[in-house]
């Protein structure tokens, strides 16, 4: 029996499901997370530079190297475990270590990523996160007291997650050392895999929140350009029913506005799509943490609803405004085309009226010429006929003058009948 051949991408797409496993983290421990984004579009990004930068870090600690075309890597790096992932627009580094430093959120913990190595990165730092992982005390008040000491109360988000397996907290602020901080208090008996998932979710929430809010920064520039185009488009639409401007001038202005709107749509379409995708990931990651409120404090979902959702609504509003203006420009073009057609129809009507007048004049002139032609032909016909009838006039004893008088009406009538017969055949 012949063996059915596999699709060339069968194993690739299956392996992608298992490409980025969650880390297994022991408690207590520390996680240092870093996201680097290149200041170029995703299509122009050189992924070989990201891999070379990773290899440079591994060489400092004599670590093993990833495969040439790998998009993820997990291995030991000294006393740390390093996780590296290459995404569409950015790369992430996660370093996990056992134990805690005496000073909470000590900036020295981030020295696993040396300053000189960071300065050679093929991009800019988008996220830098320190996560402190401790055992949850029997008295949860002790953990809440530490949280209040470590974070700014105004923006603090804290909640029990994953069916009470841990308490997570953070204020989404960057400390003087340039890092964002999160605390994770793990209930005894929680598996290392579950701890790794909780930490990974926090890192993903922060990364995709930052990536999605890049759209807000871009939208501010977009709104400034739309604010300049909107009055021009509105004025052009208002002038469509007037005669103050020629259609040619209005068409030139409309084409200029439409071209700029299309250029903006092409320029911002990827960022709009990416922002929507990142927003969906942020909301999904928060949802799967299954938060439970603690003592009336705001959860991560509530924090995002108050501080993050308005930014996303602003991006969606700008996208809708851009699409609406493009549609308005298209409708204006259709109205302008209708106006041009109406003007052209009026011009054609006037032209037809002018042609009718000229045809009438030509017909009158033709009739006049016909009458003159009949007279001229009759004159020459009478002269020719006179030569024929002169001998007959002498034989009958009739004078030539009298013979001409009798002959002329007959010739004229005969010529007129001939002209009418010719006209009848032509028409």
pLDDT tens sequence across 280-327: 999 999 999 999 999 889 999 999 999 999 999 999 999 999 999 999
Is 1 domain-assigned?
A: no
Is 12 domain-assigned?
A: no
Angstrom distance (rounded) from CA 270 to CA 215: 10
Q: What DSSP letter does each residue of 111-159 carry, written as one string?
A: GGS-HHHHHT-SSEEEEEEEEEEEEPPSSHHHHHHHHHHHS-GGG-EEE
Is 9 domain-assigned?
A: no
* 121 or 409: which leads in pLDDT: 121
Closest Cα partner for 274 from 115, 90, 117?
90
Distances in Å between the Cα of 56 and the Cα atoms of 63, 114, 278, 334 are: 10, 11, 30, 59
Query: The tokens 């841990």 sit on which residue?
Result: 166
Let me know whether 156 and 77 are in one domain.
Answer: yes
Let me know whether 82 and 228 are in one domain.
Answer: no
Let me know whether 175 and 112 are in one domain.
Answer: yes
Let me know whether 75 and 163 are in one domain.
Answer: yes
Contact 301/282 with Cβ under 8 angstroms?
no
Between strands 80-86 and 29-37, the pairing is unpaired
Domain boundary among 179, 200, 221: 200
Determine the pLDDT at residue 36.
95
Let me know whether 325 and 230 are in one domain.
Answer: yes
Determine the pLDDT at residue 408.
77
Let me know whether 28 and 133 are in one domain.
Answer: yes
As for how many domains the chain has, the answer is: 3
Rounded to 5°, the CA angle 103-106-111 comes to 145
Determine the pLDDT at residue 365.
73
Q: For residue 346, what pLDDT band results from cuts at 50, 70 and 90?
A: confident
The residue-averaged pLDDT of 222-235 equals 91
Let me know whether 48 and 140 are in one domain.
Answer: yes
Q: Is the confidence at residue 348, as pLDDT, over 90? A: no
The model carries a pTM of 0.78
Determine the pLDDT at residue 211.
95
Partners of 180 in beta bridges: 129, 174
Let me know whether 318 and 173 are in one domain.
Answer: no
Instruction: Supply the angle between the helices 247-288 and 309-396 in degrees, to the nearest 10.
Output: 150
Is 2 domain-assigned?
A: no
Is 10 domain-assigned?
A: no
Percent of the chain whose pLDDT exceeds 70: 92
Residue 122 C-alpha from the chain's centroid: 27
Determine the pLDDT at residue 65.
86
Domain boundary among 298, 317, 351: 351
* Residue 238 in tokens: 């208002």
Let me know whether 128 and 61 are in one domain.
Answer: yes
Residues 6+ apart with CB under 8 A from 392: 403
Q: What DSSP letter does each residue of 4-41 carry, written as one string?
A: PPPPTTHHHHHHHHTSSPPP---SSEEEEEEEEE-SS-
* Backbone φ, ψ for residue 20 (5° rounding): -125, 75
Mean confidence (pLDDT) of the chain: 86
* 163 or 241: which leads in pLDDT: 163
Is 49 domain-assigned?
A: yes
Determine the pLDDT at residue 110.
92
Angstrom distance (rounded) from CA 239 to CA 141: 69
Name the residue range of residue 184's domain: 19-200
Is 207 domain-assigned?
A: no
Other Cβ atoms closer than 10 A to 220: 10
Let me know whether 237 and 137 are in one domain.
Answer: no
Is 136 domain-assigned?
A: yes
* Residue 418 in tokens: 């001939």
Q: Is the confidence at residue 370, as pLDDT, over 70? A: no
Let me know whether 323 and 389 are in one domain.
Answer: no
Let me know whether 337 and 371 are in one domain.
Answer: no
Other Cβ atoms closer than 10 A to 90: 21
Domain boundary among 286, 320, 351: 351
């Amino acid at each position: 029996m012949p063996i059915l051949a596999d699709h060339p991408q069968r194993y690739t797409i299956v392996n992608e499901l298992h490409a980025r496993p969650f880390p297994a983290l022991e408690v207590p421990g520390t996680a240092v997370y870093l996201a680097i984004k290149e200041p170029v579009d995703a299509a122009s990004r050189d992924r070989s530079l990201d891999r070379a930068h990773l290899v440079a870090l591994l060489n400092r600690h004599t670590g093993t190297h990833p495969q040439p075309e790998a998009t993820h890597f997990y291995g030991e790096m000294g006393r740390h475990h390093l996780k590296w992932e290459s995404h569409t627009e950015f790369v992430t580094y996660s370093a996990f270590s056992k134990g805690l430093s005496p000073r909470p959120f000590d900036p020295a913990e981030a020295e696993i990523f040396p300053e000189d190595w960071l300065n050679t990165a093929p991009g800019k730092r988008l996220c830098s996160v320190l996560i402190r992982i401790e055992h949850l005390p029997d008295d949860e008040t002790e953990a809440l007291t530490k949280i209040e000491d470590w974070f700014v109360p105004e923006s603090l988000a804290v909640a029990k997650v994953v069916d009470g397996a841990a308490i997570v907290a953070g204020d989404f602020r960057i400390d003087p050392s340039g890092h964002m901080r999160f605390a994770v208090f793990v209930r005894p008996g929680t598996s290392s895999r579950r701890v790794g998932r909780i930490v990974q979710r926090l890192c993903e929430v922060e990364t995709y929140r930052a990536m999605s809010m890049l759209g807000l920064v871009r939208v501010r520039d977009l709104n400034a350009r739309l604010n300049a185009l909107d009055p021009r488009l509105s004025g052009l639409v208002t002038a469509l029913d007037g005669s103050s401007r020629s259609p040619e001038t209005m068409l030139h202005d409309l084409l200029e506005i439409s071209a700029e709107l299309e250029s903006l749509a092409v320029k911002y379409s990827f960022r709009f799509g990416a922002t929507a995708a990142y927003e969906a990931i942020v909301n999904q990651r928060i949802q799967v943490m299954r938060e439970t409120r603690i003592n009336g404090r705001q959860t991560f979902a509530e924090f995002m609803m108050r501080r993050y959702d308005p930014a996303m609504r602003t991006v969606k509003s700008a996208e809708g405004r851009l699409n609406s203006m493009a549609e308005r420009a298209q409708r204006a073009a259709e109205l302008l085309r209708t106006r041009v057609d109406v003007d052209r129809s009026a011009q054609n009507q006037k032209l037809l009226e002018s042609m009718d007048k000229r045809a009438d004049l030509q017909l009158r002139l033709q009739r006049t010429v016909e009458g003159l032609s009949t007279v001229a032909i009759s004159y020459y016909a009478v002269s020719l006929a006179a030569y024929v009838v002169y001998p007959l006039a002498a034989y009958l004893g009739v004078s030539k003058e009298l013979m001409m008088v009798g002959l002329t009406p007959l010739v004229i009538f005969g010529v007129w009948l001939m002209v009418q017969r010719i006209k009848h055949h032509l028409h």
